[in-house]
Amino acid sequence: MGSVTRPAVLFVCLGNICRSPTAEAVFRARAAAAGLDVEIDSAGTGAWHVGKSPDPRAQAAGEARGYDLSSLRARQVKKGDFQRFDLILAMDEDNYEILHLQAPADAKGRIVMMMDFAPDHPERSVPDPYYGGDDGFARVLDMLEEASDGLISHLAD
């Protein structure tokens, strides 16, 4: 587990090729800009895309705003994640439920909805952009930029 001075956060979606690697890159850039020292990773509850780079559409949308996703590779959530990370941030309610079922009792409280850190945003889940158009990826970025700033404020408290 991360120490009090260096918290560890894990972003989780289904495939770990669209939303959670975007969250990882956005949060990494914004935390660095804020001078926040934090361990950051992302993972998927599913295993279909393990080892793959982020979806080219997620990479392109991120790059358009200055986020580099190219070095990221998909992995699946593993048992040790529930001990290693202080906060496990679910991108949507389905993945929140899956994480809750998988987590040991003493780690369930560390699982939170990412959009809880954007309380003014009307949606609680980051919509899965995989089967939609390119505008879905820009929308994901808008939501994750807002929630990342809220998460940074929370961790900096």
Residues in contact with ligand 4NP by CB under 6 A are 13-19, 44, 48, 128, 130
Query: What span, in angstroms and rounded, lies between the C-alpha atoms of 143 and 154?
Result: 17
**Which whole-number Å values give the CA distances from 17 to 22, 116, 119, in the listed order?**
8, 22, 25
- Candidate list 41, 55, 81, 128, residue with the active-site label: 128
Q: Which of residues 48 and 154 has its CB atom nearest to ligand 4NP in the complex? A: 48
Catalytic site includes residue 6: no
Catalytic site includes residue 128: yes
CB of 91 to ligand 4NP, least distance (A): 6
Catalytic site includes residue 13: yes
Q: Which of residues 23 and 103 has its CB atom nearest to ligand 4NP in the complex? A: 23
Among candidates 56, 54, 90, which has minimal Cα distance to 72?
54
Whether residue 54 contacts residue 18, with contact meaning beta carbons closer than 8 Å, is answered with yes
Residues known to be catalytic: 13, 19, 128
